[in-house]
Amino acid sequence: MINKELIKQNFSHYAGYYDRYSSVQNLCALKLIAKIQTNGFRNILDIGCGTGNYTRLLRNKFPHAQIKALDISQNMVEIAKAKFDYEKIEFIVADAEKAENSGRFDLISSNVSFQWFEDLRKALFQYKELLKEKGVVLFSIFGPDTFVELNSSLAELYGDNVCIASRNFIGKDKIVKILERIFKQVTVTAEILSEEISTLWELLRKIKYTGARGEGINRKGFWTPRAIDKLEEIYRKRFGKIIVTYQVFFCQAS
């Protein structure tokens, strides 16, 4: 069960660091916006807008659209607002699974935030009701093979029941099944993104500051320098270096 309040606290607490460490999230945003083949959208809902980087891409692609951007973190939204001093974007602080959105949209979009939803099927059904005729839902979402190297190293060190949140993300088959129950036209493509990071400490810092750890592993004494050094030793023995995998699903439905 996802602890939404703890996830909200993590994003809010480290909002000021997000842009420095969110290179993969920004790459996903660029790939997601590239999948939009029309410039005709006029009413857009951006869900999980974070610090506004994907919102900026939407604004640049649709300069005349009415955009509503929503995020659960007040601190994230404040940073996003500061990037749009003179542009008409309505920012809202709310849980996207519970918010009562008014209006109708021809595009509802989200960049790598839906993996934190408690009930994706229910949320997507609600979003369908907000779409105009021929409206589109377009989103990216991290899959369960994200941080697979870290999770397998944790399992070797502590046992298979120890992992960070990504191992429990929804897989592609389930996402397709959910979408096909709600929408008529569905396309889901998978991509594997990877990056090399200098040390395990730097990887853990990146995960922490982008909120990608989810609820984290908060056992007392778990993340000691000695334990992290041992974990890095296992990681490098298994994979040769600190290579990081991100599994991303790009989903479109109408």
- pLDDT tens track of the chain, all 254 residues? 567 777 788 888 888 999 999 999 999 999 999 999 887 899 999 999 999 999 999 999 999 999 999 999 999 999 999 999 777 899 999 999 987 777 799 999 999 999 999 999 999 999 999 999 999 999 999 999 999 999 999 999 988 777 888 889 999 999 999 999 999 999 999 999 999 999 999 999 999 898 765 555 555 556 788 989 999 999 999 999 999 999 999 999 99
pTM for the model: 0.94
End-to-end alpha-carbon separation of the chain, Å? 29
Count the residues in the chain.
254
Number of domains making up the chain: 1
Q: Which amino acid is at 6?
A: L
Residues 212-233 as b/e (b if ≥16 CB within 10 A, e otherwise) read bbbbbeeeeeeeeeeebeebbe
Provide the pairing of β-strand 66-71 with 105-111: unpaired
126, 179 Cβ separation under 8 angstroms? no
13, 216 Cβ separation under 8 angstroms? no
Residues 89-123 as b/e (b if ≥16 CB within 10 A, e otherwise) read bebeeeebbeeebeeebbbbbbbbbbbbbeebbeb
Range of the domain at 99: 4-253
Instruction: For Cα atoms 100, 50, 173, give the angle at the middle one, nearest 5 degrees.
Output: 75
245, 194 Cβ separation under 8 angstroms? yes
* Nearest-angstrom CA–CA distance, 245 and 213: 14
C-beta neighbour count of 35 within 10 angstroms: 14
Phi, psi at residue 11, to the nearest 5°?
Answer: -60, -40
Assign residue 12 the CATH number of its domain.
3.40.50.150
